[in-house]
């Protein structure tokens, strides 16, 4: 290992070493960095943010050979090499010497249209060393300019405008080159592809032949890369270029070979097309030609592609400038010199590196999926073991999707000191393109870095993978216990007659990230927060697990759990449109997987306010709120029984009493308690009064119905009195909302004014006077503090995240229970636990399951006011299918009721 790199490989781990000779003073380093950050803000703030998220926003302040140095003096082996534009490492002395020689000679740099000796010498060198048959050269400054020249030359030579290109190819971003770039993302909105551009699949000679048979008469040229670089280092089948040459000849079409990336030694030959022994009509070069110092490009033309018309119509102010020509000439001479053996080095180190990476592929096939390319133009395709998801380890990495390569590049850079880059459009491919002069030691460095990456990903260690991203600066990396995999959940096809559902959940809080991926359990809350922030843009809904529900009546349903990987706080922070789009894509995923009813869990129904947009997706939806209400009442009854006090003396407070769950709960609980206080949020008092009147009328209507069904209420009880009033029939319902006319509202309030049902916004007072408190809000924060609650109070928390503070939970003399948790018939493993014991589910999930068991594929529990019939029907369906209240639980654990009783008795 050369001393200058000073990375140590002991025990296979890298220790980033501080260079003793940091290239810049602290002040200078800071100035560099701040100017670099300013630039990214000018040119593309979004890119700046993306780079920052994945910690690829390094500012290099120095470079020595193959190594880059950042402001802190850390050194990184550069295997990006300016996307091929840095062929001999950074700042090679002999390139600078060419500049110094030029300075000394005082040769004029830009004197067009006078004669240009430098350009003449370079053109001669290129034609002499290029494929036989190249006759003419025109110079420019960038690769895309060379492609433009090639296309124009071929069009003028043939009198045709058509250009055939390859899908997934890359030829630059000015308009003709962009039109030939087979990636719609770059073209859309820019007027590309321009008229006349067509595409055929890359590597498919038959498709080329067929396209030219049909369109050859209107096609000037076929443009192709010997290896697709930006497309993900894709090699065509052997012999493809030779066949392309013959097919083009057969149809009288010119052939442009774009060697901007492959040319000048990169693939182990001076020109990649030489390995198939062909001569194109146009050959484009750029990148390496400038020796890593100057922007310069060239378009070489055969006699068939060159015309005097082209020569007179094409030029460029900087094309042929003498400084660039002198440097490029040295580059070509260097590459061609046997003494320096650059190309031989490419062949030797390239095959060593490829062998090493391929050996890793054999060992870690789930991570290193493929190693492709030739010479020192290599691509490593990455993947993640798909079974991680079901095993609950490494899940984070499986969810990165197409962003895996960026995160892997970040790991390699920050942990292993190796700089590699994803390709522009090549999925999860990392390009490995060290300088052509790379050494054996450096190849070992690259192989070891990939080995460490593969071990980390292969072991499902999301924590290790992201440690550098989330740890506070200067702190030690966290380590967790060895990760053990759990049982995988198999996805089977639904049997005939089975119901089908999907249920959408999101991450409740940062801790639930570790529940999805146990390898993250060792990260602190702030580290998880950092990770959530960095992952935010990449987080798309995914299928997490599948389950088959068998009702006690024998019916079955199969369902998928779809995770929307955003925390409650993230969801609430998003704009309504963004949140809706995320929820909609989760619903679509459920539908695509075969769901006939989709349940919207947690905040997904809260943030998707524009429910109409979701309805358009064309699959019935439910919030699961009806059965949540039913099961909350059951839990309250059970809790009251436990406390040994009769519920009919209870004063109930419902926090969130104006909402969908709270208001329905008011009707049901009024059957059993002495008084009800609805606690709402502060707001416009006229609207609050309206809402209160609607909820009262609804309670009256519900209790009157129950009486009509033969239910007997104790004389003088709240239920008895409400059920005798005559104001429930005045309610009308539209679009899931109950309404009263103004006069009906007056009558309702007048009739109920003497009764103990109140509406308030004074939460502390209401809670202080209650014997039982229901929490059913969409607030993500703790609302109930310990000093608000009297000893002996029952608190039933339906809100997720919980509305009960940790301190209250610790108080031994208050019974806090999780509402809305039920046991699923047969207690199946849902694959994901959602913080629950096996076989338990939230009531909203259970509602979705019941709808599927019943094949009741209709919108349910949507809108602000749940339908009475729905509430009734889920009580019955739960009995029919065997869903029942889970034992009383708090913070997802069974409550030790004996201990509780002895505490409260004392």
Query: Closer to ligand PLP at the Cβ: 328 or 523?
Result: 328
Q: What is the CA radius of gyration of the chain?
A: 35
* Least Å from the CB of residue 174 to ligand PLP: 7
| Comparison of 290 and 590: residue with beta carbon closer to ligand PLP | 290
| Total Cβ atoms within 10 A of residue 741 | 11
Which secondary-structure segment (H or E) carries 621?
Answer: strand 621-622
Least gap, CB of 615 to ligand PLP (angstroms): 45
Please say which residue, 318 or 352, places its beta carbon nearer to ligand PLP: 318
Complex with ligand PLP: residue 223 or 654, whichever CB lies closer: 223
284 or 663: whose CB is closer to ligand PLP?
284
The pair of three-digit structure tokens given for residue 842, joined into one six-digit string: 């939230």
Give 327 or 647: the residue with its C-beta nearer to ligand PLP.
327
Tell me how far, at minimum, the Cβ of 232 lies from ligand PLP, in Å: 12
CB 147 to ligand PLP: min, Å: 6
Output the smallest distance, CB 261 to ligand PLP, in A.
4
- DSSP tag of 71: T
Sheet with 651-655, strands from edge to edge, namely 757-760, 675-679, 651-655, 772-775, 794-797, 815-818
User: Is there a contact between 592 and 500 (Cβ–Cβ < 8 Å)?
Assistant: no
Q: Which is nearer to ligand PLP, 118 or 290 (CB)?
A: 290
Query: Minimal distance in Å, beta carbon 256 to ligand PLP?
Result: 10
Residue placing its CB nearer to ligand PLP in the complex, 144 or 848: 144
CB nearer to ligand PLP: give 356 or 373: 373
Q: 71 with 61: CB under 8 angstroms?
A: yes
User: Residue 479, class by beta-carbon neighbours within 10 Å (0-12 exposed, 13-18 middle, 19+ buried)?
Assistant: exposed
- Least CB distance to ligand PLP at residue 172 (A): 4
Nearer to ligand PLP, 143 or 320 (CB): 143
Of 479, 433, 449, 456, residue with least CA distance to 367:
456
| Residue 182, helix vs strand vs coil | strand
Contact between 83 and 433 (Cβ < 8 Å): yes
What residue is closest to ligand PLP based on CB?
A: 143
Q: Is 133 left (phi over 0), alpha (psi -120 to 50) or beta?
A: left
Query: What is the rounded CA–CA span in Å between residue 155 and residue 282?
Result: 12
For strands 884-885 and 821-823, give the pairing: antiparallel
Structure tokens at 567: 């925390």
248 backbone dihedrals φ, ψ, rounded to 5°: -60, -45
Q: What is the DSSP letter of 318?
A: S
Distance of CA 630 to the CA centre of its chain: 37
> DSSP of 450-488, one letter per residue?
HHHHHHHHHTT-HHHHHHHHHSPTTPPPP--PPP---PP
Nearest residue (CB) to ligand PLP, 230 versus 442: 230
Q: How many residues does the chain have?
A: 906
Contact present, 530 and 567 (Cβ < 8 Å): no
Q: Which pair of structure tokens corresponds to residue 38?
A: 């300013």
Report in angstroms how near the CB of residue 449 gets to ligand PLP at its nearest.
24
Min dist CB 145 to ligand PLP, Å, is: 7
Q: Least separation, in Å, of the C-beta of 132 and ligand PLP?
A: 22
> Among residues 171 and 881, whose Cβ is nearest to ligand PLP?
171
Longest alpha-carbon distance in the chain: 113
Closest distance between ligand PLP and the C-beta of residue 286, in Å?
Answer: 5
How does DSSP classify residue 900?
A: H
Residue ranges in contact with ligand PLP by CB under 6 A: 83, 142-144, 147, 170-172, 225, 229-230, 258, 260-261, 286
- Dihedral, CA atoms, 312, 313, 316, 320, nearest 10 degrees? -30
165 vs 545, which CB is nearer to ligand PLP?
165
Least separation in angstroms between residue 142's CB and ligand PLP is: 4
Least distance in angstroms from the C-beta of 432 to ligand PLP? 15
Phi, psi of 60 (to 5 degrees): -90, 130
Q: How far is CA 112 from the centre of its chain?
A: 51
Give the number of other CB atoms < 10 A from CB of residue 551: 21
């Amino acid at each position: 290992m050369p001393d200058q790199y000073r990375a140590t490989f002991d025990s296979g781990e890298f220790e980033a070493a501080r260079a003793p000779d940091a290239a810049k003073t602290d002040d200078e380093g800071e100035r560099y960095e701040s100017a670099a950050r300013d630039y990214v803000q000018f040119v593309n703030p979004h890119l700046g943010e993306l780079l920052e998220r994945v910690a690829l926003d390094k500012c290099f302040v120095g470079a020595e050979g193959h190594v880059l140095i950042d402001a802190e003096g850390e050194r990184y082996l550069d295997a990006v090499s300016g996307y091929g534009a840095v062929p001999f490492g950074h700042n090679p002395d002999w390139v600078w010497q060419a500049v110094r020689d030029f300075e000394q000679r005082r040769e004029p740099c830009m004197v067009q249209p006078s004669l240009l000796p430098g350009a003449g010498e370079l053109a001669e060198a290129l034609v002499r060393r290029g494929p036989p048959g190249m006759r003419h050269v025109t110079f420019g400054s960038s690769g895309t300019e060379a492609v433009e020249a090639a296309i124009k030359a071929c069009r003028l030579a043939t009198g045709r405008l058509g250009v055939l290109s390859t899908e997934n190819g890359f030829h630059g971003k000015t308009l003709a080159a962009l039109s030939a770039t087979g990636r719609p993302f770059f073209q859309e909105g820019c007027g590309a592809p321009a008229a006349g551009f067509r595409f055929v699949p890359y590597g498919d000679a038959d498709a080329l032949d067929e396209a030219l048979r049909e369109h050859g008469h209107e096609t000037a040229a076929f443009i192709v890369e010997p290896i697709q670089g930006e497309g993900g280092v894709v090699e065509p089948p052997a012999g493809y270029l030779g066949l392309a040459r013959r097919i083009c000849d057969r149809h009288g079409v010119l052939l442009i070979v774009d060697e901007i990336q492959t040319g000048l030694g990169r693939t182990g030959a001076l020109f990649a097309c030489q390995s198939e022994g062909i001569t194109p009509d146009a050959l484009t070069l750029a990148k390496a030609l400038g020796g890593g110092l100057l922007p310069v490009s060239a378009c070489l033309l055969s006699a068939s592609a060159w015309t005097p018309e082209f020569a007179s119509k094409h030029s460029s102010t900087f094309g042929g400038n003498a400084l660039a020509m002198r440097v490029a000439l040295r580059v070509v001479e260097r590459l061609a010199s046997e003494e320096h053996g650059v190309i031989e080095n490419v062949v030797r180190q390239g095959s060593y590196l490829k062998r090493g990476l391929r050996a890793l592929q054999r060992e870690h096939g789930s991570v290193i999926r493929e190693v492709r390319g030739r010479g020192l133009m290599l691509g490593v395709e990455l993947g993640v073991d798909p079974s991680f998801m079901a095993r609950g380890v490494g899940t984070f990495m499986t969810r990165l999707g197409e962003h895996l390569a960026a995160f892997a590049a970040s790991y390699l850079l920050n942990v292993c000191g190796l700089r590699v880059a994803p390709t522009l459009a090549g999925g999860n491919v990392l390009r490995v393109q060290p300088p052509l002069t790379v050494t054996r030691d450096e190849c070992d460095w690259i192989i070891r870095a990939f080995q460490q990456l593969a071990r980390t990903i292969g072991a499902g260690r999301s924590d290790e993978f992201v440690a550098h991203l989330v740890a506070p600066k200067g702190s030690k990396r966290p380590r967790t216990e060895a990760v053990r995999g759990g049982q995988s959940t198999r996805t089977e096809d639904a049997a005939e007659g089975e119901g089908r559902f999907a249920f959408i959940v999101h991450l409740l809080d940062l801790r639930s990230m570790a529940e999805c991926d146990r390898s993250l359990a060792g990260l602190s809350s702030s580290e998880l927060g950092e990770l959530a922030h960095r992952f935010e843009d990449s987080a798309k809904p995914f299928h997490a697990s599948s389950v088959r529900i068998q009702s006690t009546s024998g019916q079955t349903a199969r369902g998928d759990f779809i995770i929307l990987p955003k925390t409650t706080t993230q969801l609430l922070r998003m704009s309504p449109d963004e949140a809706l789009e995320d929820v909609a894509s989760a619903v679509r995923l459920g539908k695509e997987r075969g769901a006939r009813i989709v349940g919207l869990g947690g905040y997904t129904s809260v943030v998707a306010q524009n429910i109409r947009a979701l309805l358009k997706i064309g699959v019935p939806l439910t919030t699961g709120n009806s059965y949540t209400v039913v099961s909350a009442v059951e839990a309250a009854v059970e809790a009251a029984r436990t406390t040994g006090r009769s519920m009919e003396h209870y004063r109930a407070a419902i926090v969130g009493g104006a909402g969908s769950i709270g208001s329905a709960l008011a009707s049901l609980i009024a059957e059993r308690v002495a008084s009800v206080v609805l606690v709402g949020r502060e707001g416009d008092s006229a609207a609050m009064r309206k809402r209160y009147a609607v909820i009262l009328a609804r309670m009256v209507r519900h209790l009157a119905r129950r009486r009509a069904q033969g239910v007997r209420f104790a004389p003088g009880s709240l239920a008895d009195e409400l059920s005798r009033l005559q104001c429930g029939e005045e309610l009308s319902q539209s679009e899931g909302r109950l309404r009263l006319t103004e006069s009906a509202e007056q009558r309702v309030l007048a009739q109920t004014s003497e009764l103990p049902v109140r509406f308030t916004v004074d939460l502390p007072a209401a809670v202080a006077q209650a014997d039982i408190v229901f929490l059913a809000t969409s607030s993500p924060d703790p609302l109930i503090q310990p000093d608000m609650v009297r000893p002996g109070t029952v608190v039933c928390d339906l809100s997720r995240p919980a509305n009960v503070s940790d301190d209250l939970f610790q108080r031994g003399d208050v019974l806090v229970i999780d509402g809305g948790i039920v046991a699923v018939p047969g207690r199946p493993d849902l694959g994901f636990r959602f913080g629950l014991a096996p076989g338990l589910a939230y009531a909203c999930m259970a509602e979705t399951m019941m709808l599927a068991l019943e094949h009741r594929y209709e919108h349910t529990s949507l809108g602000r006011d749940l339908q009475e019939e729905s509430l009734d029907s889920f009580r019955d369906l739960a009995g029919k299918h065997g869903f029942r209240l889970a034992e009383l639980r708090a913070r997802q654990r069974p409550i030790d009721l004996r201990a509780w009783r002895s505490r409260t008795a004392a």
